Amino acid sequence: MTAPEDKNMDELVALCKRRGFVYPASEIYGGLRGFWDYGPLGTALKNNIRDWWWRCMVDCPPIGPDGEPVAIVGLDSAIIQNPRVWEHSGHVGGFNDPMVDDKETKKRYRADHIYVFYPKNFKTEHKRFGIAVQASSREEAHKLRDELWESGKWSKVVFRAQKEFGFDPLEGAGVGAQYGDKVSDFLNVYGPNGEDIGDWDVITAEELDEEHRKYTTNLELTNFGTLTKPQMFNLMLDTYPGPIRDEDAKAYLRPETAQGIFLNFKNVLDTMRVKVPFGIAQIGKSFRNEVTPRNFIFRSREFEQMEMEFFCPPEDSQKWYDFWRDVRYKWWLSLGVAEENLILRDHDDDELAHYSSACVDVEYKYPFTAPGYGELEGVAHRGNYDLTAHSKSKEKNRDSNAKLDYFDQELQVKLQNEGVDKAEIKERSRYVPHVIEPASGLTRAVLVVLCEAFTPTPDREGSKYILSFKPKFAPIKAGVFPLVNKDGMPEVAQKLYLQLRDKWPVEYDGKQSIGKRYARMDEIGTPFCFTIDGDTLEKQLVTVRDRDTAEQETIHIDQVEAFLAQKLAE
Ligand code: GAP
């Protein structure tokens, strides 16, 4: 298996384009940053992951911690809702990112994505500058710093800095760092008079104080100029439904599918035979005006989410939080993701979203975060934040007409049987349910499955890459080929193709050499190819070629369907 560190994102992005998985949106007009189109194979892959999530979450959810099957129903709510929804949900006031502007280039960046390197014992009189890099974690910042250094371009920085302090750039006199030294060495030895100034700190642009800010110097590598103080920037994209275009008509494209679920909690409760605990699941598009969309489809402005809100009694919420945390981690393994590339990471208090009292992320080792990890799914304990926020309340000026609480008859009976006193029963059996929310990105899941499957095969004849999808998720399940386009082989191959096509997406290909046909199937991740050759005509034997090993075996033509069915069920 190729380690994430050894996978090149540029090569993966190029393969995705060349083989019809993902194209830049509006490409013939120069594209649009943060938007992507899914090609025929990308759509098939996305649908396969989506269907598996729906199967595991709605059609056949797991058995719960109490041994009972978990109940979850599906929903498909509108993307645009009454704008009051987003005021009460906290997204108008709280869904903000801290932004910094670059005074020289006028570009805007997320303050928590720009990392600035400063000496730990920074003193104003040192007149030392920061080195800014854009990254999504401190770990990534360090990695980026090292990569930039390895690229050799850091010589410029050294020379510039030397000049700034009056050193001769060519001789490097008085400066410990020379062109070719490791960045870490350079960072450790640098001083206005060449003295060792000790360790360097990595801080975000958000953490830059007045003193540091004065010395954010533009470095050619990173193109950061003087950074302003961070300011909050709302992430929701807005629109104006109807003919009038003024502030009162302003509505938002949903930034998460979750709110549509909370808005329909009462509808579902009243119309479906569900009782707490139960969940409502939804898959659909969400939109965020991300300031720095990047890393291919990892962070885009239009994306798809798979979210489930699980409503439970407040007193059982911890049990359900632990339950969903485990279930969701295992689900990612079921996609064929290797355990060593997947971790669970609890959020620190200062990372929690405005609605959440606890959150654990499932993180994946993407090629662009390795050896670190990046977010894939969050399992959040939302408490009763959302249902309360959307419940009618005069004092709090909440103008919805709903009371989103729940009377728990089973709990009432249980408490009665336990002899709990009447007042306490009344108090405990009517409540606003707590919510545990596993929320993941479908388009991000596509990226994870692509990254995991992407395997460079420089030594293999034909294909330079394999997309080693778990067969169940492969867009095309099998290729059916006649070895040559004569001698009655195409007719037999067509017959087999028509038989398999009835059950799965399979492809018939009779053109080009057999090696080229195999190579194409490897690159689009087709797990098996069935070739009709002389042995088929004589002995009814078909050659099966395995994508990952390139090994071939023969099976009877009557067994092909059963063979494929068994592999796809794994
Ligand atoms: N309802 C909770 C919520 O939306 P989130 O952590 O902001 O939580 C959930 O989003 C998931 O949606 C993330 O874990 C990620 O997989 C995906 N996601 C969020 N923003 C995204 C973006 N800009 N592009 C692609 N996927 C995104």
Domain locations in the chain as residue ranges: 4-95+238-450, 96-232, 457-569
**375 touches ligand 1 (CB under 6 Å):** yes
Separation of alpha carbons 132 and 203, rounded Å: 9
Separation of alpha carbons 197 and 313, rounded Å: 56
Beta-sheet strands, E only, within 316-408: 342-346, 358-364, 374-383, 406-407
Beta-sheet strands, E only, within 237-289: 238-239, 251-252, 278-287
Q: Residue 399 in contact with residue 452, Cβ under 8 Å?
A: no
pTM of the model: 0.84
Q: Whose CA is nearest to atom 19 of ligand 1?
A: 441
Q: How far is the CA of 210 from the centre of ligand 1 (A)?
A: 33
Q: How far is the CA of 221 from the centre of ligand 1 (A)?
A: 30
CATH of domain 4-95+238-450: 3.30.930.10
Separation of alpha carbons 299 and 287, rounded Å: 11
Tell me the two tokens of residue 235: 């992430």
Q: Residue 279 in contact with residue 56, Cβ under 8 Å?
A: no
- To test ligand 1's pocket by mutation, which of 77, 259, 303, 363 has the most ligand atoms within 8 angstroms of CB? 303
**532 touches ligand 1 (CB under 6 Å):** no
- To test ligand 1's pocket by mutation, which of 85, 91, 309, 444 has the most ligand atoms within 8 angstroms of CB? 444
**290 touches ligand 1 (CB under 6 Å):** yes
- To test ligand 1's pocket by mutation, which of 253, 305, 324, 342 has the most ligand atoms within 8 angstroms of CB? 305
Q: How far is the CA of 378 from the centre of ligand 1 (A)?
A: 8
Residue 110: predicted pLDDT? 82
Separation of alpha carbons 119 and 525, rounded Å: 48
Q: How far is the CA of 110 from the centre of ligand 1 (A)?
A: 16
Number of Cβ within 10 Å of residue 36's Cβ equals: 23
pLDDT, one tens digit for every residue, the chain (570 residues): 899 999 999 999 999 999 999 999 999 999 999 999 999 999 999 999 999 999 999 999 999 999 999 999 999 999 999 999 999 998 988 778 888 888 777 788 888 878 777 666 655 544 444 566 677 777 777 776 666 556 554 444 443 444 444 433 332 222 223 333 444 444 433 444 544 445 566 788 888 887 777 665 544 345 566 788 888 888 899 999 999 999 889 999 999 999 999 999 999 999 999 999 999 999 999 999 988 788 999 999 999 999 999 999 999 999 999 999 999 999 999 999 999 999 999 988 777 777 777 899 999 999 998 988 999 999 999 999 999 999 987 766 777 888 999 999 999 999 999 999 999 999 999 999 999 999 999 999 999 999 999 999 999 888 899 999 999 999 999 999 999 999 999 999 999 999 999 999 999 999 999 999 999 999 999 999 999 999 999 999 999 999 999 999 999 999 999 999 999 998
For strand 454-456 and strand 465-467, is the pairing parallel, antiparallel, or unpaired?
A: antiparallel
Residue 166: predicted pLDDT? 41
Taking phi over 0 as left and psi of -120 to 50 as alpha, with beta for the rest, 310 belongs to beta
Q: How far is the CA of 285 from the centre of ligand 1 (A)?
A: 11
Q: How far is the CA of 515 from the centre of ligand 1 (A)?
A: 41
Residue 122: predicted pLDDT? 59
Q: Whose CA is nearest to atom 25 of ligand 1?
A: 299
Q: How far is the CA of 303 from the centre of ligand 1 (A)?
A: 8
Specify the ligand 1 atom closest to the Cα of 257: 1
Which residues, listed in sequence order, are joined to residue 227 by a DSSP beta bridge? 102
Three-state DSSP at 143 gives helix
Q: Residue 482 in contact with residue 520, Cβ under 8 Å?
A: no
Give the right CATH number for 457-569 from 3.30.70.20, 3.40.50.800, 3.30.70.1380, 3.40.50.9100.
3.40.50.800
Separation of alpha carbons 137 and 377, rounded Å: 17
Q: How far is the CA of 324 from the centre of ligand 1 (A)?
A: 17
Taking phi over 0 as left and psi of -120 to 50 as alpha, with beta for the rest, 257 belongs to alpha
Separation of alpha carbons 176 and 46, rounded Å: 52
Separation of alpha carbons 470 and 450, rounded Å: 11
**309 touches ligand 1 (CB under 6 Å):** no
Positive or negative: CA dihedral 522, 526, 527, 532: negative
Q: Whose CA is nearest to atom 6 of ligand 1?
A: 378
**97 touches ligand 1 (CB under 6 Å):** no
